Amino acid sequence: MAESARQPQEPQNPEELYRYLLDRVTNMETRNLELREQLRQIESDKRYIETQKIRYEREVRKLKSEIEQLRSPPLVIGTITDVVEGNRVIVRSSAGPRFMVRSSMCIDPEKLKPGVRCTLNQQSLAVIDILPESYDAQVYGMEVVETPQESYGDIGGLDPQITEIREAVELPLKRPELFEKVGIEPPKGVLLFGPPGTGKTLLARAVAHETNAYFLRVVGSELVQKYIGEGARLVRELFDLAKKKSPTIIFIDEIDAVGASRTEATTSGDREVQRTLMQLLAGMDGFERRGDVKIIGATNRIDILDRALLRPGRFDRIIEIPLPDVEGRLAILNVHTRGMNLEGDIVLEEIAHLTEGKNGSDLKAICMEAGMFAIRAEHEKVTRKDFLCAIEKIGLDFDGHKYMSNYGAMFA
Ligand SMILES: Nc1ncnc2c1ncn2[C@@H]1O[C@H](COP(=O)(O)OP(=O)(O)OP(=O)(O)O)[C@@H](O)[C@H]1O
Ligand SMILES: [Mg+2]
């Protein structure tokens, strides 16, 4: 009874049979379609897995070769001292003795030159590869990576000096053809000198801001090293790097630290400074053409600089950055009060007249102090009185006499 209930009844009359068969055929066709779809799906899965497999196999191969490389013995570092013929060279390994070895076929024979660093196989000492030149990390540290914010517009009252420095430094780098046409060699370097706080470093920072050249900045005292010959080596590497990366501008701030006049030296420290200076002179001369390397020096003691440093050919242009006059002071005040909230009663000309003998950094300090007075009095705007108080605080008496003595006392 139960069996007959589960099995559908065989249709008896032909019409029913026909419908029954049609039904089954459509059912089977849809089933067939489903199965085909499944098959397609499975095939695409298979393809995906196969590509995955190939990828993983490649990765395994890569990792295996990396493991091989990590397991391989270290290479010895050496220096090529001579090239005998073809691929036979004489090397000096870092351990000391010299060897005659063969070099790998893969190395371009052009690159096999005396003085080049290379790697050597540990057993045969064959030259495997040529290494790039290395510079002291300190030299790399001199590179100005972040461009300074100051532009020429932030310098007040030094327009002729800006023109001179642009002519001497930027023009030869940007438009060398002008110099070729006229038939002169462009200036190699400029020296900025003047009293402290007049904007020498600021000017160099503006040059770094405005130029696209590679900019190296070094303070003279950084070139003075502890061990004999180290300072000279630093200078040599500095010039090498500058030449390689040209166009380059080297800025040597406070150059008096190494450039002081050579006398009958007494201590070994003095002699070391002098050796560094001599390397600097040789570097600036550029026994070989220096390429597009310009040098800017800055000092406030030009009187003690060695005469050899000052002669044309080294620093071709010597630019004085003097204490600002009334107009200069007004221009500097304009620069530093640009962002300040000033009361209408302030006449900057008056402040410029009252600050006779002040330098740029004093004027900046006066602006800042005036702002501080305004903050103390809880004003939002800086008034004339704030400025007068600030001038007094920075050390200027209104009749102008006491100022000099204060100045001496302040910086004694
Ligand atoms: N002409 C100027 N225009 C605008 N600001 C100036 C000017 N001169 C100096 N200053 C201000 O004074 C600060 C100090 O100047 P800077 O460092 O250039 O002095 P310097 O001439 O290099 O002095 P030093 O010889 O002592 O190194 C600058 O940061 C700047 O804010
Ligand atoms: Mg300076």
Ligand 1 centre from 322 Cα, in Å? 11
The per-residue pLDDT for 398 is 41
Q: CB of 204 closer than 6 A to ligand 1?
A: no
Extract the residue ranges of the chain whose pLDDT is less than 50: 1-5, 290, 397-412
What rounded mean pLDDT belongs to the chain? 85
Return d(Cα 316, Cα 41) in angstroms, integer: 80
pTM over 0.85: no
Identify the pLDDT of residue 327. Answer: 93
> From CA 215, how far away is CA 207, in angstroms rounded?
9
- The pLDDT, as a whole number, for residue 194 is 93
pLDDT value at position 140? 78
Q: Over the stretch 95-140, which tens digit does the pLDDT of each residue have?
A: 778 899 998 888 888 888 888 889 998 888 889 888 887 777 777 7
The tokens describing 412, both together, are 């004694």
Q: Is 148 in the pocket of ligand 1 (CB under 6 A)?
A: no
Nearest residue CA, atom 26 of ligand 1? 196
Ligand 1 centroid from CA 362, angstroms: 9
Structure tokens belonging to residue 178? 């002008």
* 3-state SS string for the chain: CHHHHHCCCCCCCHHHHHHHHHHHHHHHHHHHHHHHHHHHHHHHHHHHHHHHHHHHHHHHHHHHHHHHHHHCCCCEEEEEEEEEECCEEEEEECCCCEEEEEECCCCCHHHCCCCCEEEECCCCCCEEEECCCCCCHHHHCCECCCCCCCCHHHCCCCHHHHHHHHHHHHHHHHCHHHHHHHCCCCCCEEEEECCCCCCHHHHHHHHHHHCCCEEEEEEHHHHCCCCCCHHHHHHHHHHHHHHHCCCEEEEEECCHHHHECCCCCCCHHHHHHHHHHHHHHHHHHCCCCCCCEEEEEEECCHHHECHHHHCCCCCCEEEECCCCCHHHHHHHHHHHCCCCCECCCCCHHHHHHHCCCCCHHHHHHHHHHHHHHHHHCCCCCECHHHHHHHHHHHCCCCCCCHHHHHHHHHHC
At 225 the pLDDT is 80
Alpha-carbon gap, residue 125 to 77, rounded angstroms: 10
CB-ligand 1 contact for 355 (6 Å cutoff): no
Q: What is the arrangement of strands in the sheet containing 117-120, beginning at the earlier edge strand?
A: 98-102, 88-93, 76-85, 117-120, 127-130
Residue with CA nearest ligand 1 atom 6: 360
**Ligand 1 atom 11, closest CA:** 361
Ligand 1 midpoint to CA 169 (Å): 20
Verify whether ligand 1 is closer than 6 Å to residue 220 (CB atom): no
Ligand number nearest CA of 321 is 1
The per-residue pLDDT for range 5-35, each reduced to its tens digit, is 455 566 678 899 999 999 999 999 999 999 9
**Protein residue closest via CA to atom 29 of ligand 1:** 202
Q: What is the pLDDT of residue 8?
A: 58
